[in-house]
Amino acid sequence: MQYVAPIGIGVLYALLMSLVHEPHRRRLNAVMVAGAGAAYLSGGGLGGWEFAFTALLAYVAFRGLESWTFIGVGWLLHTVWDVVHHLKGNPIIPFAHTSSLGCAICDPVIALWCLRGGPSLIALVRGRGRRRGPGTGPERSRATMTP
């Protein structure tokens, strides 16, 4: 469960973000990745490197205000930082020893969604359910209809 739940959390994140319309969705995700960059700042255990990483992710998040690619790269960078903390630093949640590992599993799910342009998963599901073959939907003109 420790490996499956983070994947579900990543999918849930994308689903909830799908409720936000563009361009606000992209900008909100840029803010989220900036916040993720500062997640270890108050006790990550890697000293000055915590500040350097926060500065790097702040720059990536700023570029992400206009680019889903930068947001996806930011989540991948955070994945690497989670792995470093799992192996050498302090966990992201102090009382949950494997929380950085869980974050390292969740973040790539979010990154993949972002690298695909942060599409609305709700719209994708609705569109799939309504998709029909050509000439079978309401777009069919009266001229092509047979009695």
Quote the mean pLDDT of the chain. Answer: 88
Please, what is the Cα angle at 111 between 131 and 12, to 5 degrees?
60
- 2 or 44, which is more confident: 2
Query: pLDDT of 73-86, one tens digit each?
Result: 999 999 999 999 99
C-alpha to C-alpha distances, 123 to 11, 46, 89, 93, 118, nearest whole angstrom: 15, 42, 40, 34, 12
Residue pointed to by tokens 């909100």: 28
Q: What is the pTM of this model?
A: 0.82
DSSP sequence for 96-117: -TTHHHHHHHHHHHHHHHHHTT
C-alpha 96/C-alpha 76 separation (Å) is: 22
Query: pLDDT of 77-136, one tens digit each?
Result: 999 999 999 999 888 888 999 999 999 999 999 999 999 999 999 888 888 755 555 554
